[in-house]
Amino acid sequence: MQHVRRAAQLIRSIAASGTGVILVTHDLSTVRALADRIVVLSLGRVAYNASARHLSADQLWGLMASGTLASAGQ
């Protein structure tokens, strides 16, 4: 897990300098810990593109599974 901590520190450092960082992952704990904005792609289309603050963990799981926010609990 040391490599995960190092990667998270590097991402935070780069972002703090004002450089945008694109992180592609299915690890939701990492997403929720590091993301300011979340983009979910489903079958080649954007299913969600907004602030990470407005999306619960359950909604994020639902978006990833179904591609729709309505199915994610809203």
CA-based radius of gyration for the chain: 13
Q: Where are the beta strands (DSSP E) in 1-74?
A: 37-42, 45-51
Give this prediction's pTM.
0.72
Looking at residues 56-73, what average pLDDT do you find?
79
Residue-level pLDDT at 70: 65
- Judged on CB neighbours under 10 Å (0-12, 13-18, 19+), 32 is middle
Residue-level pLDDT at 72: 43
Residue-level pLDDT at 13: 96
pLDDT, tens digit, 9 for 90 and up, residues 3-47: 888 989 999 999 999 999 998 988 888 888 899 999 999 889 999
Residue-level pLDDT at 67: 87
